[in-house]
Amino acid sequence: MNKPVARMLKLDPRKLPAQVFQRYAARAGIIRDRQEREAKAWESFGKPGRDPNTLGSLVTLLAKNGNWTPHLKLAQLRNHWDQVVGPQIAQHSVVASFNDGILVIRAESPAWTTTLTYMIPQLTDTIKERLDGLDISQIRVTGPQAHPFTRGRYGRYRR
């Protein structure tokens, strides 16, 4: 004959419901606590102390402590290059690199290289004024990059 499960497993039938439903009771308590926290959160939404206005200060702190500030300032300079040199010059030049305080600007022709070279004092002042945190010790202006093939005299390839 089939014995009841409690007898087969030698369990106390008085404690069996508590053992079986203990997990469900604990889960119900967790769900009830979560619902209460959610209700309190909705009630306090938008009130002082709950606004995420400190997120910006947290990101600023991370940028300063992680030495990201120069990289962010350089990206800002690249994105707003036309505001520093003007739209016409920005069409013919680009911020190439920034290493060890040396800012390198690449111009597309020797004429634009000369123009930007004469503008270095003005560029230095403008960049220091608008991008505090980007420590520039020197600005170099380079012309277009040379091709890997070298030409001999009079434009013909040497063999």
- Digit-coded pLDDT (tens) for 93-116: 999 988 888 999 999 999 999 999
CB 103 within 8 A of CB 49: no
Other Cβ atoms within 10 Å of 84 Cβ, number: 19
Other Cβ atoms within 10 Å of 76 Cβ, number: 14
pTM greater than 0.85 (yes/no): no
127 Cβ neighbours under 8 A, 6+ residues apart: 77, 84, 103, 134, 136
All domains in the chain, ordered by first residue = 70-142 (3.30.300.180)
- Digit-coded pLDDT (tens) for 47-96: 666 655 566 777 777 777 767 777 888 888 899 999 889 899 999 999 99
* Residue 137 structure tokens: 């010790």
